[in-house]
Amino acid sequence: MFRAIMILMTLVLLRTGDVECQPAFPPPGQIYVQESVPRIDIFIHPDTLAWIYANVQSDIEFRSTFVFSNGSIADTLREVGFRLRGNTSRNAPKKSFKISFNSYEEGRKYYGFEKLNLNGEHNDPSVIRSRIVWNIYRQAGLPVPRSNHVKVYINNSFYGLYINVEHIDENFVKSRFGNNDGDLYKCLYPADLAWLGSNPEMYKMTSGDRRVYELNISDKDDYTFLVRLIEVLNNTPIDQLPCELEKVFNVQDYLKVAAIDVLTGNWDNYIYNKNNFFLYQNTSTRQFEYLPYDVDNTFGIDWFGINWATRNIYSWSPSSSGEKRPLFTRLMQVPAYRAHFTYYLKQAISQITGTQKLKDSILALKSLIEPIIPTDPFYPRTYGFNLTSFVNSYTQATGAHVKWGLLPFIDARNQSALSQTESGNAPPVIKYIQHNKAAYGQRFVVTAYVEDEDVAPGVTLEYRINQSAWNSVVMRDDGTAGDGPAGDRIFGATLEGQAMNDVIELQIKAADSKNSVSLKPCSPVQWKLTNAINLPLFINEFMASNSNTIADEHGEYDDWIEIYNAGDEPVSMNGLFLTDNLGNPSKFALPDISVPAMGFILVWADDQPAQGSRHAPFKLDKEGEQLGIFRKAASGYALVDSYTYGPQSNNISSGRRQDASSEWISFTRPTPGRSNHLLSTTGSVSQPAPLRVWPNPSSAGTVNFSHVTDFELFSITGKLITAAREALQADISFLRPGVYLLKAKDGQVIRIILH
């Protein structure tokens, strides 16, 4: 008898998991506390430390002990890598340092971080500029590193006040975009993104002992996607550039970065100095993301004899005709992009750099770090800075390369920038277009981020079915249209009643009161409504940190994933995919074998596909990520099963309490390749996150859940109205306005108000 649980594939609207397309913004946490100055201690053999200071260009890491305390925690980690970092700072008395927690213990992290960057800020007498810039980026909604001030001690000797800046690596991009399987390039001088030809080898040129475009988190050394970006950027006619470039690059977020760079006087960046940025190919969108890096040469720091406070905002790049900066100069040739750049610049002034709030935050930080400055032994050693230099640097120039006081520069730059802005109306910005990948019979929900100078631009979903006539439906940002919280600039609309195999094409249109119109994307998004997936395959158990539990056929202890067939017939895995990134479903084609009825197959997540057909080209993240089984491309990569997990422990697996059930627990005695039923009593129940329900209050036909749950819906008098198992939403279209009670599987009761 077929005893599988038939799965109705109800995917959560991607808006509920912002990491899919919109960047996420992790909180400061313990490492980047904002209200105090944590202490970092490094203990290293004195002879080793002397060698490091005698060989400043070396990147050799040496064993050390790391101690971190912030008033709430005090931790000690041994066998930590320690070395110098930076460029010119290596030759300055006050060095900058890199801490690596995973150098001698593979995969080790400290509060989710593998590395820390401790920057000496020796050029900046205020010791604050870069932290202020990072804060401005973040306030503007850009996915940039976190930062704070720390006191650094080595062998109990005080080495000074430092800025601790989050390292950009696979952990960083995973925390912002929800994936880390795309190409990440560190781009340093002279990275101008100029076209060198179609041969990828041409872009592996070096400067000194490093590549100009250094591929960081891929072992394939394949520059194909970078070459494609550079080709589109340089060789596409200007009138076609928006449509082609937006396929491969997140233009709008870059324009916002560029506007803030100009406002903060950041010249040691791509636009002026072809330096200091990362490019990450976000596999959820297939677009490259621009990530700024190293922002201490800002707010009036100058080495070129240029007044950055008054420099023309549209001509930030060098004036030499031979200098190429296509990512800025070509975008400024597109009228809509130029207008958007202007809009972002004025927006940043009105909301951030021109506010008293920014000045107050600067003075608060000044008060926080000022008592530390007189005790910093390296602060005066490069330029003779002293406490007077520190105090004055906030209000006046201090000579040499510090041409402006911090606060006067901000005022002058804001005033000059506003005087240079061109008049005109920017068309509405449309980005982060998403839909919920609905199956036949489900509501098709579409969302998009839209902003404009108008408080409430008109937004519509333009769609057609099977190439028939185009129709439109109003999109709303009121919390009732699948759009998330009201007023967050995410607009939503819902379609329903389509037939099996209907092909939906869609675009988003936005218009402002001045009749400026945007229509995105240039080529309509297509989606085919196919049957819900009812394969009885489940991700049944997995282990993300295996050191002695079970070895593969090569004797290696690797991460593993168990797939279970809950049916009474074998199920072929031909045409199915396994992934650790739901935004990239086709990462690993499962082997062309069948899973026996009520049987199990183990897949090794070891990033060693050459070892066999059951070895996936990825490893599992111990800190948490997504797992999914998908059907082939012809089905639109329809989801078969998925699970999102949190932090894991060494040699402890996570699995379903009963095979194919919905309740997950931790197993101190894992059962790879065997039934979970036998030993489920040895597991400790993983506590699920509280259920969130939205929109609530609601006038929509459904309410959505933050995770799969069984539920019962009662009237306010206690009468059972409806119930469902393993649901991600509840149909309330048949209910009258009123108050209802939803009881979730874990006993949580939520009051639902229906308008």
Q: What is the pLDDT of residue 747?
A: 67
Mean pLDDT of 634-647: 81
Q: Which long-range contacts (CB under 8 A, 24 or more apart) does 155-158 make?
A: 155/42, 155/43, 155/44, 155/46, 155/49, 156/41, 158/375, 158/376, 158/377
CA–CA distance, 613 with 366 (Å, rounded to integer)? 58
Q: What is the pLDDT of residue 247?
A: 96
What pLDDT shows up at residue 737?
73
Q: What is the mean pLDDT of the chain?
A: 89
For residue 717, what pLDDT is reported?
59
Please, which pLDDT band fits residue 12 given cuts at 50, 70 and 90?
very low
pLDDT bracket for residue 678 (50, 70, 90): low
Question: With bands split at pLDDT 50, 70 and 90, how would you rate the model's confidence at 718?
Answer: low
pLDDT digits (tens, 9 = 90+) for 253-288: 999 999 999 999 999 999 999 999 999 999 889 999
- Does residue 190 have a cis bond before it (omega within 30 degrees)? yes
Range among 348-357, 492-501, 715-724 with highest mean pLDDT value: 348-357
Q: Which residue has the higher pLDDT, 391 or 566?
A: 391
Which segments of 466-567 are extended strands (E)? 471-474, 490-495, 503-511, 517-528, 537-543, 559-565
| Cβ atoms of 620 and 544 closer than 8 Å | yes
Q: Once rounded to an integer, what is the mean pLDDT over residues 120-143?
A: 97
Supply the DSSP string of 252-271, one letter for each residue: HHHHHHHHHHHHTT--SSHH
Q: Taking residues 670-687, what's their average pLDDT?
A: 65
* pLDDT for res 645: 87
On whether the CB atoms of residues 73 and 30 are closer than 8 A, the answer is yes
Percent share of the chain, pLDDT over 90 = 68
Name the maximum alpha-carbon separation found in the chain. Answer: 85
Lowest mean pLDDT among 370-374, 432-436, 698-702: 698-702
Q: Is the pLDDT of residue 606 over 70?
A: yes
- Cα angle 66, 648, 16; round to 5: 110
pLDDT value of position 320: 79
Give the pLDDT confidence score for residue 533 in this predicted structure: 61
pLDDT tens sequence across 429-450: 999 999 987 777 778 999 999 9
Q: Where are the alpha helices (DSSP H) in 376-430?
A: 387-392, 406-420
* HSE of 11, CA atoms in CB hemisphere, 13 A: 28
Is the model's pLDDT at 17 over the cut of 70?
Answer: no
262-271, 399-408, 482-491, 672-681: least confidently modelled range:
672-681
Q: What is the mean pLDDT of residues 549-572?
A: 92
In the numeric block, which tokens belong to residue 600?
């199990």
Contact 708, 688 (CB under 8 A): no
Q: Is the pLDDT of residue 5 over 70?
A: no
Confidence at 681, pLDDT banded by 50, 70, 90: very low
Q: Point out the least confidently predicted range of 92-101, 260-269, 619-628.
A: 619-628
The answer to whether residues 505 and 526 touch, using CB atoms and an 8 Å cutoff, is yes
